[in-house]
Chain A
Amino acid sequence: QTVVTQEPSLTVSPGGTVTLTCASSTGAVTSGYYPNWFQQKPGQAPRPLIYSTGNKHSWTPARFSGSLLGGKAALTVSGVQPEDEAEYYCLLYYGGARVFGGGTKLTVL
């Protein structure tokens, strides 16, 4: 069974920069996995942030960016704001199926 792995938790200071990663048990993540990133705050539905590696939705703040880094998908938040404290999930495409990562709890302290 395919497993997608994310850091369980990360902490960043306001104004700082943090990178979250997303790894696949099948090997290096490439653009062909069409990495997506979602932000979820308590009691809310997930909100899409990034699709197809690095493309932003119209509502995605400029401080969020997606890329491939060292064989993983990556989400970088530059100039972190207190409201960025949330759970972040990546999603990878495996042909006709999709697999979510376990999520990263981002704390802004």
Chain B
Amino acid sequence: QVQLQESGPGLVKPSQTLSLTCTVSGGSISSGNYYWSWIRQPAGKGLEWLGHIYTSGSTGYNPSLKSRVTISIDTSKDQFSLKLSSVTAADTAIYYCAREGSESYWGQGTLVTVSS
């Protein structure tokens, strides 16, 4: 079964860049035609879609965050990554990676706190 695991710093300073990686196991990130997504959830609030990347490398981003978000993929490592620039306290949230589609899987999430 496919599993996803988020990793990265749990604490980021304001104005810096948040960087997270999602490692896919139990299957190749290149097999099949899937979108690989990043979603976040502030404490006590709803889910927010940040963006996704296709196995070909094409991307789609949330228009409200588009200028700050970059998603990339490394098929040789079965990983995809998120970069969110110029972070503020409002970016504090649990960040999830997920695979879309008929066989959808989510990581367990990782808490990122933005604080000095």
Q: Is the CB of B64 within 8 A of A1?
A: yes
Chain A 39-59 near chain B by CB (<8 Å), digits 1 or 0: 010000111100110010100
Asked if A61 is an interface residue, CB under 8 A from chain B, the answer is no
Asked if A10 is an interface residue, CB under 8 A from chain B, the answer is no
Give the interface centre of B46, B101, B105 by most chain A CB atoms within 10 Å: B46
Report the interface size for chain A: residues with CB under 8 A from the other chain. Answer: 22
Q: Is the CB of B106 within 8 A of A45?
A: yes
Q: Is the CB of A100 within 8 A of B49?
A: yes
CB distance from B27 to the nearest CB of A (A): 15
Asked if A91 is an interface residue, CB under 8 A from chain B, the answer is yes
Give the residues in chain A near B62, CB-CB below 8 Å.
97
Chain A 62-105 near chain B by CB (<8 Å), digits 1 or 0: 00000000000000000000000000010100001111111100
Give the residues in chain B near A38, CB-CB below 8 Å.
47
Report the interface size for chain B: residues with CB under 8 A from the other chain. Answer: 22
Q: Can you sample 22 A-B contacts with CB below 8 Å?
A: A1-B63, A36-B104, A45-B96, A45-B107, A46-B96, A46-B106, A48-B104, A48-B105, A51-B101, A51-B102, A51-B104, A55-B102, A91-B49, A96-B60, A97-B49, A97-B60, A98-B60, A99-B49, A100-B46, A100-B47, A102-B46, A103-B46
Give the interface centre of B37, B47, B102, B105 by most chain A CB atoms within 10 Å: B47
User: How many CB-defined contacts (below 8 Å) exist between A and B?
Assistant: 50
Q: Is the CB of B46 within 8 A of A97?
A: no
Main secondary structure of the interface of A (DSSP, over half): strand
A56-B39 Cα distance, complex, nearest whole Å: 21
User: Which of B61, B63, B102, B109 has a CB less than 8 Å from the CB of A45?
Assistant: B109
Give the residues in chain A near B46, CB-CB below 8 Å.
89, 100-103
Q: Is the CB of B52 within 8 A of A98?
A: yes
CB-contacts of B61-116 with A (<8 A): 61-64, 96, 101-109
Shortest Cβ distance from A55 into B: residue: B102
A34-B39 Cα distance, complex, nearest whole Å: 18
